[in-house]
Amino acid sequence: MRTLLLLLVGFLSILGCGTGASSSSVSITLLGFEPQVESVPRKIGRFSFHNTGTGTCNLGSYQVRWEGGEQSVPVEPPVAIAAGDTIERTVELNYRGTDDPRGVVVDARCD
């Protein structure tokens, strides 16, 4: 199962994020890691969230998983992503792996 998750290569489509007659679908891409200048070997991940659905996606949190760990990332305040829009976010992760994002899986749920 872990191997299957790692094969998803940092890109997932999350369905069922809308309410009522319209629906939202958000695609999440880990664009990569930015250099960290601190002595703590944490990574700063840069993520792209694209709403491919017809309704607004209210992003309140997302989950980042990698072999040996995971981190829940709250989005405060929650961000509304209109249909067709794309946003980018950066976040410091507890991830201490390589700079290759292929072993990182991202899940999100629209509220």
pLDDT tens column, 31-58: 999 877 766 678 899 999 999 889 999 9
DSSP string over 49-80: EEE-SSS-EEEEEEEEEETTEEEEEEEEEEEE
Round to the nearest angstrom and report the end-to-end CA distance of the chain. 27
Claim: this prediction has a pTM higher than 0.85: no
pLDDT tens column, 86-101: 999 999 998 888 888 8
Domains and CATH numbers, the chain: 2-110 (2.60.40.1620)
